[in-house]
Amino acid sequence: MADPHRLCEIVESSQGVLVGLGPVDVVIIGFPGNKFTGQIAPAILELVENRTIRIIDLLFVSKDSDGVVTTFEIADLDPEIGPSFLAVEVSQPGALDFDDAEEMRASFAEEKDRNIYSRFSNPSTSEFIQKICALEGAEDGFAFASGMSAVFSTFAALLSSGDHIISARAVFGSTHSLFSKYLPKWNIETTYFQIDELDELESLIQPNTKIIYAETPTNPGLDIVDLERLSEIAKKHQLILVIDNCFATPYLQTPIQHGADIVIHSATKLIDGQGRVMGGIAVGNKELIREIYLFSRNTGPALSPFNAWVLSKSLETLSVRLERHCDNAEKLAQFLEKHAAIHRVTYPFLDSHPKVHIAKKQMKRGGNIVTFELKGGIASGTQFLDNIQMCSLSANLGDSRTIVTHPASTTHSKLSEEDRLAVGITDGLIRVSVGLEHIDDIIQDIDQALTNSKA
């Protein structure tokens, strides 16, 4: 049997595959599509046969005239291990190589399910997609370079000129720009509904309506949409329900279980959770994802394999991070509710939230975003930001560090004042993306900034 340590060196250096050494077993961490050639192939297969390697279903085992295995490829992961235990290597190449002309022909003809070119698919992005599908309960997915490319590609793939969208009025600023500025270029119009007035939504449906779109909780108003009610309406009228689940993550909320057809994420936020990479993903119904895939493989918004690798690792800590984020956010919201300098605090799980009963029905916990309205409006808002010492001032959210923002002058500045007020973004609104620091430090920084901001 090959020496596992030697194996580890060879594999890492010549094949670019990560090998981990467990206490009793050698665990090769590979991925469907990984190929092993040369001397390493028979050595690994020997380990597999001796059951010291916990992968696998092998595909493409070729042998030479003496019956010695020369090449094999991993076809599937061992379901007993499950993808969440695996850290695959970063599969960086743009194009993946083929054994012969027939394999190449069959792959392009989609007779054979394998990676061809990283604009279409890649082992690292596939791992990330599989993990999000498992968490969201989705059939399939496609991973994107950013949340906005996931949002845009979903609309572009599923809609035709002349189609109509019904969207919640309160959506992320760039999504709003897509509806108001860009989709109309292709004769796709959007009508908005108020989250509080779901009973009136049906009256907005037109013969050409194709999609109902919403975020919940919304950015930055933290409004909550009743997912079950929305999906009843979508199903009754055979419309596609698309939900941006960015603020909740699949750890706190799984919209597909409440009837959504497609779920979108900006993975740049809580999924990465450490402000390192950008990414996005759309998961859901297999036929709809197929349309999104075909559009995307031709237009090129795919997630980079390196970012997919980072995001896959991030998912391994998602539950731990989210529990701490939520603990901190709850404590901060309770502290702010009693603060004299503050007019109004919003957090989905506070009893004072108008939709707390729906939030508790469809979310596990309240998330990491808290918003509040400063007494004194825009002037004390600016002073407050300038007095912050420990927290970061940044346009991001969902980072391990607490981030304080002023939506009216940043993320939603492109909206008219009227549109901003219609979604609850007042001049004095502050959004806190509560991080993983010690809660006492977060409260102390925000408290001192509030005290020093009293005009």
Ligand X SMILES: Cc1ncc(COP(=O)(O)O)c(C=O)c1O
What DSSP designation does 445 have? H
Residue type, 335: F
Q: Does 115 help bind ligand X (rule: CB under 6 A)?
A: no
Alpha helix (H) ranges present in 353-410? 356-362, 377-387
Q: What is the largest CA-CA distance in the chain?
A: 86
Span from 42-50, 142-150, 335-343, 350-358 in contact with ligand X (CB under 6 A): 142-150
State which of residues 266, 346, 371, 453 lies at the interface with ligand X (CB under 6 A). 266
DSSP string, 104-118: HHHHHTTSS----BT
Please name the residue that has the structure tokens 């290597």. Answer: 89
What's CA 450's distance to the chain center, in Å?
33
Span from 146-154, 178-186, 333-341, 416-424 in contact with ligand X (CB under 6 A): 146-154
Q: Tell me the C-alpha distance between 205 and 260, whole Å.
A: 18
Q: Does 179 help bind ligand X (rule: CB under 6 A)?
A: no
Judged by CB under 6 A, how many residues of this single chain contact ligand X?
Answer: 12
Determine the length of the chain: 455
Question: Cβ 82 to ligand X, closest distance in Å?
Answer: 27
Please identify, using beta-carbon distances, which residue of 264 and 333 lies nearer to ligand X.
264
Q: Tell me the C-alpha distance between 374 and 275, whole Å.
A: 27
Question: Cβ 238 to ligand X, closest distance in Å?
Answer: 26
Q: Tell me the C-alpha distance between 346 and 354, whole Å.
A: 9
The tokens describing 200, both together, are 């009136």
Q: Does 213 help bind ligand X (rule: CB under 6 A)?
A: no
Span from 48-56, 112-120, 144-152, 435-443 in contact with ligand X (CB under 6 A): 144-152
State which of residues 248, 278, 289, 358 lies at the interface with ligand X (CB under 6 A). 278
Strands, E assignment, 172-312: 189-193, 209-215, 240-244, 262-266, 280-284
Please identify, using beta-carbon distances, which residue of 115 and 371 lies nearer to ligand X.
371
Q: Does 272 help bind ligand X (rule: CB under 6 A)?
A: no
Span from 6-14, 59-67, 140-148, 315-323 in contact with ligand X (CB under 6 A): 140-148
User: Facing residues of 168 across strands?
Assistant: 193
Q: Does 244 help bind ligand X (rule: CB under 6 A)?
A: yes
Q: Does 250 help bind ligand X (rule: CB under 6 A)?
A: no
Q: Does 280 help bind ligand X (rule: CB under 6 A)?
A: yes
Residue nearest to ligand X (CB): 147
Q: Does 172 help bind ligand X (rule: CB under 6 A)?
A: yes
Q: Does 219 help bind ligand X (rule: CB under 6 A)?
A: yes
User: Quick one: the chain helix, strand, coil %, rounded to 5?
Assistant: 40, 20, 40
Angle between helices 147-158 and 286-299 (to 10 degrees): 110
Q: Does 147 help bind ligand X (rule: CB under 6 A)?
A: yes
State which of residues 34, 146, 153, 328 lies at the interface with ligand X (CB under 6 A). 146
Question: Cβ 61 to ligand X, closest distance in Å?
Answer: 41
Question: Cβ 172 to ligand X, closest distance in Å?
Answer: 4
Angle between helices 439-452 and 377-387 (to 10 degrees): 130
- Binding stretches for ligand X (CB under 6 A): 146-148, 172, 215, 219, 244, 246, 266, 268, 278, 280
